[in-house]
């Protein structure tokens, strides 16, 4: 499948501060991406550039073959669920859903009302009086009821308890199966989405650190544990991203091409190889 979104050499500076530096990354049609990064890494800046909130300092962003900058046609194909609230303050949820119906080309109002019921959202309430969780739910419902080929979600599950998050993931996957399109989900709850996203895009201090299928990342990353000097022997010449020691017992996390993993050597050194979770790998790769 072709690319729906291409970000070509995009930088954004605010005064003297570089928020994003020379980002080159593309997103394919019909895939779910996780946009991951530490606080202040530049995730929201990137989403804001895609959606015409700010202009990139250099580079270009293409949707299909069109630039997204000041381009209503391109923007009409993007649905952006922001962490911030952009809605008129006095609107009830129902009014918001109806105005979304007027705003988006193909907004499924019936589906939206059905979701509101499933999430037990009171549509008669004013948006500004909603709890953080129900604010998120309202925004989720709007995003899922559009049929924009590109949907950006910035922290979609903010303020949702574990049970409601689980319900969201189920409804989200059902929605994706009915209407496959490209989702870019920015979240800090990495472990929860690790099975749901197909590829991870990691931004670190304004730079693109990596873009890879999650499964591939999880095969490249692994922990080796055992007697400290044996672990050191195994680690020689490998890319060690983290290391921990308790007494004489050492655990290291390695990130390298799968073909370089050497189970035999590890076994001969009496070392244990265990898988690493995406969240841990992310923490180690982004520098702690």
Partner 1 sequence: MKVSFDNEKSIYIQIAEAIKDDILKDIFEEETQIPSTTQMSVSYRINPATAAKGVNMLVDEGIIYKKRGIGMFVASGAKEDIRNSRKNEFFDKYIAAMIEEAQKLGISREDIIDMIKGGEKKHG
Among 196, 209, 235, 283, binds partner 1 (CB under 8 A): 196
Q: Considering only residues 128 through 157, tell me which ones interact with partner 1, judged by CB under 8 A.
A: none
**Cα separation of 267 and 254, whole Å?**
16
**CB under 8 A: which stretch of 12-20, 114-122, 129-137, 170-178 binds partner 1?**
170-178
The backbone torsions φ and ψ at residue 116, rounded to the nearest 5 degrees and listed phi first, read -55, -40
Choosing from 52, 111, 169, 232, the residue that interacts with partner 1 (CB under 8 A) is: 169
Strand runs (DSSP E) across the chain, as ranges?
3-14, 17-28, 32-37, 58-63, 66-67, 78-81, 150-154, 182-186, 199-204, 207-213, 221-227, 240-246, 249-255, 272-275
How far CA 110 is from CA of 30, 117, 141, 146, in Å, comes to 24, 11, 11, 11
Q: From the CB of 210, what's the least distance to partner 1, in Å?
A: 18
Least Cβ distance, residue 55 to partner 1 (angstroms): 34
Minimum CB separation from partner 1 for residue 264, in Å? 14
Residue 218 interacting with partner 1 (CB under 8 A): yes
Q: Which stretch binds partner 1 (CB under 8 A): 90-98, 122-130, 144-152, 163-171?
A: 163-171
Residue 64 has what DSSP assignment? T
Q: In angstroms, what is the C-alpha Rg of the chain?
A: 22
CB–CB of 36/203 below 8 Å? yes
Tokens of 80: 């952006």
Q: How many residues bind partner 1 (CB under 8 A)?
A: 21
| 265 binds partner 1, rule: CB under 8 A | no
**Nearer to partner 1 among residue 196 and residue 283 (C-beta):** 196
194 binds partner 1 (CB under 8 A): yes
Q: Give the residues lining the site for partner 1 (CB under 8 A).
A: 31-32, 166, 169-170, 173-174, 176-177, 191, 194-198, 215, 218-219, 274-275, 277
């Amino acid at each position: 499948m072709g690319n729906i979104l291409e970000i070509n050499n995009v930088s954004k500076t605010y005064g003297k501060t570089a928020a994003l530096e020379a980002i080159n990354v593309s997103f394919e049609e019909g895939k779910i991406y996780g946009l991951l990064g530490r606080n202040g890494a530049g995730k929201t800046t990137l989403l804001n550039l895609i959606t015409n909130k700010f202009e990139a300092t250099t580079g270009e962003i293409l949707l299909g073959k069109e630039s997204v900058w000041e381009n209503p046609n391109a923007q009409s194909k993007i649905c952006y669920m922001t962490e911030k609230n952009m809605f008129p303050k006095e609107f009830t949820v129902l009014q918001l859903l109806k105005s979304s119906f007027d705003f988006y080309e193909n907004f499924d109002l019936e589906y939206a009302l059905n979701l509101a019921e499933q999430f037990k959202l009171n549509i008669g309430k004013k948006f500004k009086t909603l709890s953080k969780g129900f604010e998120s739910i309202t925004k989720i419902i709007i995003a899922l009821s559009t049929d924009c080929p590109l949907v950006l979600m910035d922290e979609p599950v903010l303020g949702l308890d574990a049970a409601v998050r689980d319900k969201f993931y189920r409804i989200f996957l059902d929605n994706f199966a009915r209407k496959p399109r490209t989702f870019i989900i920015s979240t800090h709850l990495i472990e929860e989405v690790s099975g749901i996203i197909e590829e991870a895009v990691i931004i670190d201090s304004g730079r693109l650190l990596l873009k890879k299928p999650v499964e591939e990342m999880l095969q490249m990353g692994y922990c080796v544990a055992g007697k400290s000097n044996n672990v050191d022997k195994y680690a020689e010449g490998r890319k060690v991203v983290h290391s921990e020691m308790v007494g004489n017992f050492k655990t290291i996390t390695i990130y390298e091409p799968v073909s370089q993993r050497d189970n035999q050597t590890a076994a001969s050194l009496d070392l244990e190889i265990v898988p690493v979770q995406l969240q841990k790998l992310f923490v180690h790769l982004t520098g702690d």
